[in-house]
């Protein structure tokens, strides 16, 4: 059981407990996730400017970005014997780069699967943007004030 699994289990047991919600989402935003990719679009682009193409899965009429908290879980999900291409992305960066109507699917294939809906992702994005703005204001105040 990973820390994300434990936090999700506590959240599910106490779905209306703001402290458990906060613990799960804080851990999520501060964790790094493995995202399977199809490859990257190179076309002579410099190393830092390559376009990464993530695997998007469709189910029930929705598009899902697949997220895994361990490489082992990602590899088990891929399980086709092919090359395992992936990127590692912090949770807080996922919130800033995901746009509706994309959903997230966390740890598919385990008993700790969680679906993130677009409005939930938007809520997380707003929280991250607010924290980033507050941190920038504090940094500016400490540096120049």
Contact 73, 86 (CB under 8 A): no
Percentage, residues of the chain above pLDDT 90 = 72
Average pLDDT over residues 102-118: 97
Asked whether residue 76 is domain-assigned, the answer is yes
pTM, full prediction: 0.86
Asked whether residue 65 is domain-assigned, the answer is yes
User: What residues make up the domain containing 83?
Assistant: 33-42+49-125
Strand partners, 79: none
Asked whether residue 141 is domain-assigned, the answer is no
**How does pLDDT run across 39-67, given as a tens digit for each residue?**
765 555 566 666 888 999 999 999 999 99
pLDDT score recorded for residue 48 = 62
Asked whether residue 71 is domain-assigned, the answer is yes
Distances (CA, A) of 49 to 36, 43, 45, 88, 99: 19, 10, 6, 16, 20
Asked whether residue 1 is domain-assigned, the answer is no
pLDDT score recorded for residue 52 = 84
Asked whether residue 10 is domain-assigned, the answer is no
Q: Which residue is it, tokens 């086709």?
A: 80
Asked whether residue 67 is domain-assigned, the answer is yes
Which CATH number goes with the domain that contains 54?
3.40.1350
Distances (CA, A) of 46 to 14, 38, 88: 48, 19, 20
pLDDT score recorded for residue 6 = 96
Rounded CA gap, 33 and 91, in Å? 7
Asked whether residue 62 is domain-assigned, the answer is yes
Percentage, residues of the chain above pLDDT 70 = 87
Rounded CA gap, 11 and 23, in Å? 8
Contact 32, 88 (CB under 8 A): yes
What sign for the dihedral angle of Cα 69, 71, 72, 73? positive
pLDDT score recorded for residue 26 = 96
Domain count, the chain: 1
């Amino acid at each position: 059981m990973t820390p994300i699994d434990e936090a999700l289990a506590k959240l599910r047991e106490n779905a209306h407990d703001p402290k458990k919600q906060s613990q799960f989402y804080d851990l999520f935003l501060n964790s790094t996730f493995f995202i399977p990719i199809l490859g990257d679009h190179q076309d002579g682009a410099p190393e830092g400017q390559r376009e990464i193409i993530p695997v998007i899965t469709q189910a029930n009429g929705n598009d899902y970005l697949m997220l895994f908290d361990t490489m082992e879980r990602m590899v088990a999900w891929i399980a086709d014997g092919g090359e395992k291409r992936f990127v590692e992305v912090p949770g807080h960066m996922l919130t800033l780069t995901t746009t509706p109507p994309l959903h997230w699917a966390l740890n598919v294939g385990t008993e700790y699967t969680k679906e993130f809906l677009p409005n939930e992702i938007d809520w997380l994005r707003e929280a991250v943007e607010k924290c980033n703005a507050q941190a920038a204001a504090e940094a500016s105040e400490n540096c120049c004030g």
